[in-house]
Chain A
Amino acid sequence: MRSHENPQGSIRAYWRANVRLIAALLGVWFLTAYIISIVLAPWLNLFRLGGAPLGFWFAQQGSIYVFILLIWIYARRMDALDKRYDVHE
């Protein structure tokens, strides 16, 4: 494992990987909440999911499902990162 060769460098790499993951997930968060559910909502309302206008559905339902999923993905991916860089408890 890299961590045993160079702990300082490994911890820096762990942090960089963490920040990259956070940036990617927050990118999805931003896109879902602000772009899809608000800015594009009037246009997305031209389409339907079942009976509900799509933009409206995202703003009042879909976005919340995405938020829950994002936190779950983060916790799962960090389990793997913690182990790979040997910083877990």
Chain B
Amino acid sequence: MSIEAWTYLIVGLSFALYLYIGYTSRVRDTKGFYVAGRGVPPVANGAATAADWMSAASFISMAGLISTLGYDGAIYLMGWTGGYVLLALLLAPYLRKYRKFTVPDFVGDRYASNAARTLAAIATIFISLVYVAGQMRGVGIVFSRFLAIDIAQGVLIGVAVVAFFAILGGMKGVTWTQAAQYTVLIIAYLIPGVALAYLLTGNPIPQLAFAFSDISERINQIQTDLGFGEYTAPFQSKPMIDVLAITGALMVGTAGLPHVIIRFYTTPDVRSARYSAFWALLFIGLLYTTAPALAMFARYNLISTLHNKPISEVRQIDWVAKWEQTGLLKIADKNGDGIVQVAKGKAFQEKGGKPDFNAPDMTNPNEVYLDNDIIVLSTPEVARLAPFVIALLAAGGLAAALSTASGLLIAMSSAVAHDLYYRVFNPRAPERLRLLVGRLAMVPALAAAAYLGINPPGFVAQVVAFAFGLAASGLFPAILLGIFDRRMNAQGAIAGMLVGLGFTSVMIGLMRAPQLFGAAQPVIKDFFGISAEGIGIVGMVLNLVIALVVSRLTPPPPTHIQEIVDSIRIPRGAGEALDE
């Protein structure tokens, strides 16, 4: 069977599975629709959370990004896993005990303020919208690369599949399809990872091969010979202060992302919320410890296959020819000697953030352009695996993108239908109407996701930093203080959120002025060495300080609010039927 036939078969089967699960888990009430009836066991919720969290970018692009950054890639590895410790210890058990549906629910009730509720709902919608654009784009890209379906059609197919199980099954449908999607994506990621580890080091377990082989020595040697810094040496792309700040901002941002937090509302009790955080990070860790191994092996393999070889010989390798056609890899014989040279610097000049393959960059001797995505996408061929593994990789990429997109859709539609419509505008709405509005709210969210997937704004990558910055500087401190500081009141929390969000937005705006507003130069380059990606951590500290000071200068919250705080601090009673 050809690769294309395999891909149609495996992707088709996986989609049929998701649709079947979606149909069998359709729901009839808002509790099922928003929190899956609170009946999800910890292991299943862990798998669903892992799929919810790991996006198309984690699956397809992260290993490539790390292979370019070397040690500094740790900002993503630690930043996107360490946040789960904060979630498990500081937020998830207490929010689960509160027995409501959304993040703005807690913020609005705890501070008895519809202003705080609306602020949290808007932050939720904005963060999720930014994120979902990237996911839908990922769906389109996988379709176009593996099945030669055009990106727009691919996006529409993805939207249709997500719409089916999300509208029918709400959180329940999303949860069980996410658990299935985790299984598909982790198998698809591990098979090539294991094969490549075995091929290059003789050890089939990537995590062990990473440490117990001479591969890091060999890659350091090659990189030094070619004029790169050592692969394992820290702080080559960023100063230490920025590495610290970005890691911190990504961790705190992860813990504050609404679509991740609401996954912990679906467990039967507080204890299961704690254990599902453990399962979630274990499942995420399986991919996140394989990715850096894949990154290092693939980079070593690519450089040693290409460097100093005659171009005509290199182009006879199947995968080189194939990926050169798709533009993920490009060779330019700058000095006309017929030999490939890998070196530091860009092989081609850039135009609008993309390499221009007609214009080699003659200021440096590097002749090879490698797209980040090639590290993961090329491994099955490099490791000479059967065609069905390539097809599996396509299904895995789609699973990663669709599962994250569906989690984001739930977060967005619940912010619109539950927080803004029901809690703010029409608190008397009966149950049936609320369920209908919840389903209807999916439609504009899906339409927005489809539109942004087909016409991605050029600044998506820049705006993702914004999403993490807002979650870190706005939502995380407001929730944290609401649980751990009984004395925190509405004045303190709102002042803190406004200052934290304001500072972070202004700073990102100033530093990313060229991408966001088309300015010629960033207004400021960094904030004491901290870049836009890491600025959220400063915003978070400001939020905490302002909130604590303002709350101490204003009256304490009323007694019934302090009682809410006391009650969420103890696990007993989480399973009682008190759902709103």
Task: Collect the chain B residues with CB atoms within 8 Å of residue A64's CB.
Answer: 77-78, 81, 285, 288-289
Q: Is the pair A51, B216 in contact by a Cβ cutoff of 8 Å?
A: yes
Which chain A residue has the least Cβ–Cβ distance from B243?
A38
Q: Is the pair B74, A67 in contact by a Cβ cutoff of 8 Å?
A: no
Interface centre among A15, A25, A34 (most CB of B within 10 A): A34
Q: Is the pair B281, A71 in contact by a Cβ cutoff of 8 Å?
A: yes
Task: Collect the chain B residues with CB atoms within 8 Å of residue A5's CB.
Answer: none
Give A51-75 as 1s and 0s: 1 = Cβ < 8 Å from B's Cβ atoms: 1110111011101110110111011
- Other-chain residue from B281, B289, B575 in contact with A89 (beta carbon distance below 8 A): B575
Q: How far is the CB of B559 from chain A (nearest CB, A)?
A: 14
Q: Is the pair A15, B85 in contact by a Cβ cutoff of 8 Å?
A: no
Instruction: Choose the segment among B268-276, B455-463, B517-525 that binds chain A (4+ C-beta atoms closer than 8 Å).
Output: B268-276
Q: How far is the CB of A5 from chain B (nearest CB, A)?
A: 17
A 1-54 contacts with B by CB, 8 A: 11, 14-15, 18-19, 22, 25-26, 29, 33-34, 37-39, 41-42, 45, 49-53
Q: Does B71 contact A (CB under 8 A)?
A: yes
Q: A25-B85, A45-B234 are in contact. Are A89 and B271 (CB under 8 A)?
A: yes
- Other-chain residue from B74, B234, B271, B292 in contact with A82 (beta carbon distance below 8 A): B271
- Other-chain residue from B247, B292, B573 in contact with A61 (beta carbon distance below 8 A): B292
Q: Is the pair B89, A26 in contact by a Cβ cutoff of 8 Å?
A: yes
- Other-chain residue from B89, B90, B93, B244 in contact with A34 (beta carbon distance below 8 A): B244
Q: How far is the CB of B466 from chain A (nearest CB, A)?
A: 23
Q: How many positions in chain B have a CB within 8 Å of any CB in the partner chain?
A: 56
Q: Is the pair B233, A68 in contact by a Cβ cutoff of 8 Å?
A: no
Q: Does B356 contact A (CB under 8 A)?
A: no
Q: A51-B214, A65-B285 are in contact. Are A22 and B89 (CB under 8 A)?
A: yes
Give B490-520 as 1s and 0s: 1 = Cβ < 8 Å from A's Cβ atoms: 0000000000000000000000000000000
- Other-chain residue from B74, B270, B484 in contact with A60 (beta carbon distance below 8 A): B74
Q: Is the pair B81, A38 in contact by a Cβ cutoff of 8 Å?
A: no
Task: Collect the chain B residues with CB atoms within 8 Å of residue A70's CB.
Answer: 85, 89
Q: Does B277 contact A (CB under 8 A)?
A: yes
Which chain A residue has the least Cβ–Cβ distance from B79?
A33
Q: In the bound complex, how far is the Cα of B78 from the Cα of A38, in angstroms?
A: 10
Q: In the bound complex, how far is the Cα of B278 from the Cα of A18, in angstroms?
A: 18
Task: Collect the chain B residues with CB atoms within 8 Å of residue A88's CB.
Answer: 271, 571-572
Q: Does B115 contact A (CB under 8 A)?
A: no
Provide the main secondary structure of the chain B interface.
Answer: helix
Task: Collect the chain B residues with CB atoms within 8 Å of residue A53's CB.
Answer: 216, 232
Q: Is the pair B234, A42 in contact by a Cβ cutoff of 8 Å?
A: yes
Task: Collect the chain A residues with CB atoms within 8 Å of residue B277's CB.
Answer: 71, 75
Q: In the bound complex, how far is the Cα of B244 from the Cα of A41, in angstroms?
A: 12
Task: Collect the chain B residues with CB atoms within 8 Å of residue A29's CB.
Answer: 82, 85
Which chain B residue has the least Cβ–Cβ distance from A82?
B571
Which chain B residue has the least Cβ–Cβ distance from A18?
B569
Give B240-283 as 1s and 0s: 1 = Cβ < 8 Å from A's Cβ atoms: 10011001100100000000000000000111001101100110
Give B46-72 as 1s and 0s: 1 = Cβ < 8 Å from A's Cβ atoms: 000000000000000000001000010
Q: Is the pair A52, B274 in contact by a Cβ cutoff of 8 Å?
A: no
Task: Collect the chain B residues with CB atoms within 8 Å of residue A38's CB.
Answer: 74, 234, 240, 243-244, 247
Instruction: Choose the segment among B204-212, B338-346, B435-443 that binds chain A (4+ C-beta atoms closer than 8 Å).
Output: B204-212
Task: Collect the chain A residues with CB atoms within 8 Å of residue B89's CB.
Answer: 22, 25-26, 70-71, 74
Q: Is the pair A49, B211 in contact by a Cβ cutoff of 8 Å?
A: yes
Q: How far is the CB of A66 from chain B (nearest CB, A)?
A: 9
Q: In the bound complex, how far is the Cα of B277 from the Cα of A87, in angstroms?
A: 20
Q: In the bound complex, how far is the Cα of B493 from the Cα of A37, in angstroms?
A: 33
Q: Is the pair A71, B88 in contact by a Cβ cutoff of 8 Å?
A: yes
Interface centre among B71, B85, B90 (most CB of A within 10 A): B85
Q: In the bound complex, how far is the Cα of B486 from the Cα of A15, in angstroms?
A: 12
Task: Collect the chain A residues with CB atoms within 8 Å of residue B211's CB.
Answer: 49-52, 57, 61
Q: Does B570 contact A (CB under 8 A)?
A: yes
Q: In the bound complex, how far is the Cα of B224 from the Cα of A20, in angstroms?
A: 47
Q: Does B574 contact A (CB under 8 A)?
A: yes
Q: In the bound complex, how far is the Cα of B270 from the Cα of A52, in angstroms?
A: 40
Task: Collect the chain A residues with CB atoms within 8 Å of residue B240's CB.
Answer: 38-39
Q: A51-B212, A61-B289, A64-B77 are in contact. Are A71 and B85 (CB under 8 A)?
A: yes
Q: In the bound complex, how far is the Cα of B76 from the Cα of A1, in angstroms?
A: 47
10 nearest A-B pairs in the assembled complex, by CB-CB distance: A59-B74, A50-B212, A56-B232, A75-B274, A60-B292, A50-B211, A87-B570, A71-B278, A71-B88, A41-B234
